[in-house]
A and B are shown apart, each in its own frame.
Chain A
Amino acid sequence: MYQAIVFLPLIGAIIAGFFGRWIGDRGAQLVTCSLLVVSALLSIIAFFDVALGHGGARIELFTWFDSGDFAASWALRIDTLTAVMLVVVTGVSSLVHIYSVGYMSHDTSIPRFMSYLSLFTFAMLMLVTADNFVQLFFGWEGVGLASYLLIGFWYKKPSANAAAIKAFLVNRVGDFGFALGIFAVFVVFGSLSFDTVFANAPEFVGRNFLFLGQQVDILTTICILLFIGAMGKSAQLGLHTWLPDAMEGPTPVSALIHAATMVTAGVFMVCRCSPLFELSPTALTFVTFIGATTAFFAATVGVAQNDIKRVIAYSTCSQLGYMFFAAGVSAYGAAIFHLFTHAFFKALLFLGAGSVIHAMSDEQDMRNMGGIRKMIPFTYVMMLVGTLALTGVPFFAGFYSKDMIIESAFAAHTDIGEYAFVLGVAAAFLTAFYSWRLIFMTFHGKPRASEAVIHHVHESPAVMTVPLAILAAGAVGAGYLFYDYFVGHHYEEFWRGSLYLAGENVLEAAHHVPLWVKLLPLVMSVSGFALAWALYIKAPDIPGRLAKMHEPIYKFLLNKWYFDEIYDFLLVRPAKYLGLVLWKKGDGETIDGFGPDGVSAVVLDLSRRARKLQSGYLYHYAFAMLIGVAAIATWFMVMGG
């Protein structure tokens, strides 16, 4: 069964990718969607079996490497953590597959798209079922590849290509850290199998090794290196710049890869490696710091964005920050719980946004929207549900998971926990503000689009709305239904050791925080809503004036804290300049000059000289022969035979 879950998408990808020409658009859609749905149904069974029914397995597929000390297998590690991820990945993926049938109906290369989606799903499943670091890395790179292919799916659009390359390069930075981390694990533990590494980790607490010429703590170094990989993949502060640009890809891709699944791989990895992270308080502090800062930073940027997808992208970035600081304060359950609920409501928001974009004839700028709630009421309701869940309105999914995270940060009673708590609460306010701003700008007020576009606005077909409804159900119910399992009373029996804790369970403490802490996120959420309402419904001229009045701040936010500009100045331009120098001077003048071009010039010159020797005069020729004999004879006289 587990094999089927993982490999059905691969089969779908192969069929659609290589035989798409023969089976046609419809065939490719049918094959990939049905295989994915089967995989999703099996995942749900697996979830009940493993997470709720105490099953679990480790399935060895075959040996991958066996070279000297280094051995690695292809194996599926099925525990609760994996089962949760299986449900998230296959569930969202199958819905996105189906949604894509409608969304991409006008595209000219549907089989390719469906194939990429399935390929991505396979890679993501390999990642979450990994039994060792190598397989994890395989999946890690696989999703990176699929992400690259899908961001650049419309490869005729220069901006899409640029975004794809950017995503790939930024991820490369993270992956470099990740790979170094894996190397370090192998050097230290002599194995890459999770079981071996985790079992031996406690021996290395407090020990040092030489890294970059410095004596550093082994586990802290490994964890931070691994976390750098997570930062790249999960778009955390510093390595986040690719995610907003990745919105150049088709919207279903944004929903699947850049909201629900791939970007959460970092969170998953940190939780999977909790036995390592738990042993290094320094690394956890680092994780918390980055997570909390990202949560706040991305929320502030989201406030000033005008592109509907970019707002949601920054929101994703921010929510990922929440998950990380939850993990950082050892509330892994809360992190995964938020990952779980977030997958539903963020995919819902993205697909809803896709529906809006579809309806608005590919318009993405919210300033050109407005007042369309009556025209696409279903989409409007869906977006509302997503927003309510995201902003943490009681009884919606986000309420349970996000509040749990904020409470955990408070309950950690550490300095960094305080930091995360404050930023988390502030971010909750901003989240509510930008989410409602999105709703108000898009659906309320007066239509700002042209007559022709407004005239054309229409509700999406059922193939797109049904997945929305299913996700909406998840966004409403996932939090309430699974609260006890993920972070509540059934915590122990649900996770059964797949999340490791070194000390007290912070989640226990989180249940007993003061009432004001419990209420604070809700208050923030409501105030955010109120402010958004005031600014965008009550007095829509205020935001413009505010922006004018505080131009520097507005610009700062609009330009995303100038991260892109700084990187461009510090890295991109020097790299380009270096490349230019190496190309023109290094390659062109030095290597080509002394290498191929130089050699050929010398040869040509010699050739011309040789031709000149060939004068045509007999006595020259005879002279050459005599010189030759004389030279050889002299040689022997000098060398003495």
Chain B
Amino acid sequence: MTPALIPSLGPAVPEILLAVAAMALLMVGVFRGNGASNLVGWLSVAALGVAAVLTLGLPGERVLTFSNMFVVDGFARFVKVMVLMSSALAIIMSMNWLDRENINRFEYPLLVLLAALGMAMMVSANDLISLYVGLELQSLSLYVLAAIRRDSAVSTEAGIKYFVLGALASGMLLYGSSLIYGFTGTTNFDALATLFGREGYSASIGLIFGIVFLAAGLAFKVSAVPFHMWTPDVYEGAPTPVTAFFAVAPKIAALALFSRIVLGPFAEMIDQWRQIIVFLAIASMVLGAVAAIVQTNIKRLMAYSSIGHVGYALVGLAAGTEEGVRGLLIYLAIYLAMNVGAFICILAMRRKDGMTEEIRDLAGLAQTRPGMAAALAIFMFSLAGIPPLAGFFGKFYVFVAAVNAGLVGLAVIGVIASVIGAYYYLRIVKIMYFDEPAAEFEAPMSRELGIVVTAAAVFTVLFVLYPSPILDSAAVAAAALVP
């Protein structure tokens, strides 16, 4: 089959829309200046929304295009919708905040938009090269976002750290890719899968090294231990809306990419990569639970929390089964809601003299701001995985999948880690409800954020009653990935 002169653009319509919108809005920003940043922001949200709708409108079956470098299937659709939604929410969360901090620049929503585009590309990558392109687009956008507060030393430091370490990780990923190419002669996922699926194929040590480096690069993106070191510093240093964005969308995209790689081309090599994933999962869960305990800054705490949660999500991936992927997707959907909610609450921690990020500032919140305290308490309980809140089910499905895949030890360690982790989540609840009130926070959160946080809280609480939409679509998505 000779490749068509013009590849089929249909499956990539959402991405094309995002690319065009980003460029068009850049022009708007350039010509209208920073005064238009709110307009640009809302238009970006609209673009993301339209892209999400278009994604939903794509056909369910597996479609390849751009010389088989780009794939759309049920898995990609499910993850893309999550990524686009959380990106849109990140823009909404930031607008009011950036205004108050006097850094309301029109580049901000555009960078989020570009990052979303990169993530969508990652999710649909079917070739090591398209993978790298998507990943770099996303990463470069994020580096800039981390440092967007140019006059703040912490923010720039965060950006630099992220950039340098990210470059190192990219280098590893590229090195791994080239090793794989060198030992197999192809970069295409389908071709790799066919090759490894051949009878009697045994992986050479060079290929395994390639896989190790590739996995290391991806592990950096999902901030799995021991490639996590940047996370606390960047989360703390970056402006809070950026942290909120970091904590959700890129994690989802990178985990999806991780899943696609190990279950797609390397599906036959499950024994090799499973060892890596199990190690990453255990290390992340334990460190996430243990290291968070002594944190006093809530953003750092959320950083360790996200490390821990990546560990739990990786448990689902380690199972390597359809059930495991389904658990992973459910986990990510629930994680999205909980984290967005929690970060909106953190964004509302503002006093007259500016933002505060210390946990002790939440003291007595239940008396000064009962609604916000209740919402944050719900998210904390849910993050700790206490039934009947949604977070419990996220953990439940991945652990069940792990047990069914024979990884009982991994599930047990996960449960123990979540017991330890419960401590710091519950400590926040205790501080809010039982300690003497600290100084009151400034005016309540904006109406949009109020709606979002309420929706997130309602989802978290009521998931137990009507979980089937998420469960079913996650099952469909998982079925698309695992043949």
Least CB separation from B219: chain A residue: A628
Residues from chain B with a CB closer than 8 A to the CB of A600 are: 423
**What would 16 more interface pairs be, CB under 8 Å, given A618-B164, A625-B220, A639-B275?**
A603-B420, A604-B293, A613-B229, A616-B233, A618-B160, A620-B229, A621-B161, A621-B165, A624-B227, A628-B226, A629-B212, A629-B213, A632-B212, A632-B216, A637-B205, A641-B272
Complexed CA–CA distance, A624 and B220 (Å): 11
A sample of 10 inter-chain contacts (CB < 8 A) reads: A600-B423, A604-B294, A607-B294, A616-B233, A621-B165, A625-B227, A628-B216, A631-B226, A641-B203, A641-B272
Which 8 residue pairs across A and B have the least CB separation, nearest first? A621-B229, A610-B291, A628-B226, A607-B293, A607-B294, A629-B216, A606-B290, A641-B208
Chain A 252-265 interface 0/1 with B at a Cβ cutoff of 8 Å (1 = within): 00000000000000
Question: Does A636 belong to the interface (CB within 8 Å)?
Answer: yes
B459 within 8 A of A: no
Shortest C-beta distance, B465 to chain A (Å), equals 34
- A204 lies within 8 A of chain B by Cβ: no
Q: A608-B294, A632-B279 are in contact. Are A622 and B168 (CB under 8 A)?
A: yes
Establish whether residues A610 and B165, one from each chain, have CB atoms under 8 Å apart when the complex forms: no
Quick check: is A635 within 8 A (CB to CB) of the other chain? Answer: yes
Chain A: which residue is nearest B164 at the CB level?
A618
Which A residues are closer than 8 A to B by beta carbons? 600, 603-604, 606-608, 610-611, 613-614, 616, 618, 620-622, 624-625, 627-629, 631-633, 635-637, 639, 641
Which of chain B's residues 215-260 have a Cβ closer than 8 Å to chain A? 215-216, 219-220, 226-227, 229-230, 232-233
Q: Which residues of B contact A628 (CB under 8 A)?
A: 216, 219, 226-227
Distance between Cα atoms of A614 and B228 in the complex (Å): 10
User: Considering the chains assembled together, what is the distance between the CA atoms of A516 and B165 in angstroms?
Assistant: 113
A54 to B423, CA, bound (A): 72
B293 contact set on A, CB distance < 8 A: 603-604, 607
B161 touching A629, Cβ below 8 Å: no
B290 and A624 form a contact (CB under 8 A): no
- Chain B residues 161-214 with CB under 8 Å of chain A are 161, 164-165, 168-169, 172, 203, 205, 208-209, 212-213
Q: In the complex, what's the smallest C-beta–C-beta distance from B211 to chain A, in angstroms?
A: 9
Whether A625 contacts B168 in the complex (CB less than 8 A), given A632-B212, A632-B216, A641-B205, comes out as yes
- Smallest CB–CB gap between A319 and chain B, Å? 60
Query: Can you list, as one digit per residue, whether each of B280-297 has a CB less than 8 Å from chain A (1) or not (0)?
Result: 000000010011111100
Q: Roughly how many angstroms separate A439 CA and B368 CA in the complex, as a whole number?
A: 72
A134 to B213 alpha-carbon distance, docked (Å) = 71
User: CA–CA, A522 to B205, complex, Å?
Assistant: 110
Which of A613, A614, A635 is the one whose CB lies under 8 Å from B233?
A: A614
Docked Cα-Cα span, A625 to B279, in Å, equals 14
Check B212–A633 contact: CB distance below 8 A: yes
Q: How far is the CA of A604 from the CA of B289 in the complex (A)?
A: 11
* Chain B residue at minimal CB-CB distance from A627: B226
Q: Interface of chain B, helix or strand or loop or mixed?
A: helix
Q: A614-B232, A625-B220, A625-B227 are in contact. Are A636 and B212 (CB under 8 A)?
A: yes
B276 within 8 A of A: yes
Instruction: Find chain A residues with CB under 8 A from B160 CB.
Output: 618
Residue of A nearest to B176 (CB): A629
CA distance A600 to B420 in the complex (A): 9
DSSP majority for the A interface? helix
Could you tell me the distance in whole angstroms from the C-beta of A640 to the nearest C-beta in chain B?
8
What residues on B are CB-neighbors of A622 within 8 Å?
A: 164-165, 168
* A625-B226 contact given A614-B232, A618-B161, A641-B208, CB 8 Å threshold: yes
CB-CB under 8 A from B213, the residues of chain A are: 629
Residues of B within 8 A of A627 (CB): 226
Q: B272 and A636: CB pair below 8 A?
A: yes
Which residue on chain B has the smallest CB distance to residue A640?
A: B205
Report A554 CB to chain B, min CB distance, Å: 61
Chain A, Cβ-Cβ closest to B167: A622
State the Cβ distance, A497 to closest chain B Cβ, in Å.
60
Are the C-beta atoms of B205 and A625 separated by less than 8 Å?
no
> Could you tell me the distance between the alpha carbons of A632 and B276 in the complex, rounded to whole angstroms?
7
Chain A residues near B275 (CB-CB < 8 A): 635-636, 639
Q: Give Cα A296 to B293, complex, Å.
A: 70
Query: Whole-angstrom distance between the alpha carbons of A625 and B225 in the complex?
Result: 9
**CB-based contact B212/A607 at 8 Å:** no
Return B176 CB to nearest CB of chain A, in Å: 9
Complex alpha-carbon distance, A97 and B203, angstroms: 90
Contacts of B220 in A (CB 8 A): 625
Q: Of residues A613, A618, A625, which shows the largest number of chain B Cβ atoms within 10 Å of its Cβ?
A: A625
- Chain A CB count within 10 A is highest, among B215, B230, B287, B291, for B291
Write the nearest CB–CB distance from B303 to chain A, whole angstroms. 10
- Bound complex: CA A606 to CA B208 (Å): 33
The answer on a CB contact under 8 Å between A636 and B208 is yes
Minimum CB–CB distance for A73 against chain B, Å: 40
- Please tell me if the beta carbons of A611 and B227 are within 8 angstroms of each other in the complex: no
B229–A610 touching, CB < 8 Å: no
User: Smallest Cβ distance from A141 to chain B, in angstroms?
Assistant: 36
Closest to B172 in A: A629
Closest Cβ–Cβ distance, residue A613 to chain B (whole Å): 8
- Docked pose: A614 CA to B212 CA in angstroms: 24
CA distance A603 to B295 in the complex (A): 13
* A624-B229 in contact (CB<8A): yes
**Which of B165, B203, B230, B290 has the most A CB atoms < 10 Å from its CB?**
B290
The complex places the Cα of A606 from the Cα of B293 at a distance, in Å, of 10
Contact B290–A607 (Cβ < 8 Å): yes
Residues of B within 8 A of A631 (CB): 226
In the assembled complex, how far is the CB of residue A310 from the closest CB belonging to chain B, in whole angstroms? 51
Contact mask for chain B residues 142-164; partner A; CB cutoff 8 A; 1 contact, 0 none: 00000000000000000011001
Q: Which chain A positions have C-beta within 8 A of B294? A: 604, 607-608, 610-611
Q: Is the beta-carbon distance between A607 and B233 smaller than 8 angstroms?
A: no
Shortest CB distance A32–B (Å): 44
| Shortest distance between the CB of B292 and any CB in chain A (Å) | 8
B230 contacts across to A, CB distance below 8 A: 621
Residue ID in chain B nearest A632 by CB atoms: B212
Which A residues touch B290, using CB under 8 A? Answer: 603, 606-607, 610
Closest CB of chain B to A625's CB: distance in Å?
5
Taking the closest CB of chain B, its distance from the CB of A336, in whole angstroms, is 58
Of B216, B272, B292, which is within 8 A of A625 by CB? B216
- Shortest Cβ gap from A618 to chain B (Å): 6
Which residues of chain A come closer than 8 Å to B227, judged between CB atoms? 624-625, 628
Q: Which residues of A contact B212 (CB under 8 A)?
A: 629, 632-633, 636
A-side contacts of B205, CB under 8 Å = 636-637, 641
Complex alpha-carbon distance, A628 and B216, angstroms: 8
What chain B residues lie within 8 Å of A633 (beta carbons)? 209, 212
Residues of B within 8 A of A607 (CB): 290-294
Docked pose: A611 CA to B287 CA in angstroms = 10
Complex alpha-carbon distance, A608 and B165, angstroms: 24
Query: Complex Cα distance A637/B232, Å?
Result: 32
Q: Which residue of B is nearest A621, CB measured?
A: B229
Q: Which residues of A contact B279 (CB under 8 A)?
A: 632, 635
State A625–B166 Cα separation when bound (angstroms): 11
Let me know if B165 and A625 touch, CB within 8 A.
yes
Question: How far in angstroms is the closest Cβ of chain B from A339?
Answer: 57
Question: CA–CA, A637 to B211, complex, Å?
Answer: 13
> In the complex, which residue of chain A has the Cβ closest to the Cβ of B204?
A641
Which single residue of chain B is at the shortest CB-CB distance from A641? B208
Which residue of the partner chain A has the closest CB to B276? Answer: A632
Provide the residues of chain B in CB contact with A603, threshold 8 Å.
290, 293, 420, 423
**Once the chains are docked, how many angstroms separate the CA of A639 from the CA of B205?**
11
What residues of chain A lie closer than 8 Å to B168, measured between beta carbons?
622, 625
Contacts of A620 in B (CB 8 A): 229
Q: How far is the CB of A508 from chain B (nearest CB, A)?
A: 73
Q: How far is A608 from B296 in the complex, measured between Cα atoms in Å?
A: 12
A13→B208 CA distance, assembly (Å)? 77
Q: How far is the CB of B427 from the nearest CB of chain A, in Å?
A: 12
Cα of A625 to Cα of B276 in the assembled complex, Å: 14
A624 contacts B226, C-beta separation under 8 Å: yes
Residues of A within 8 A of B233 (CB): 614, 616
A611-B208 in contact given A621-B165, A625-B165 (Cβ < 8 Å): no
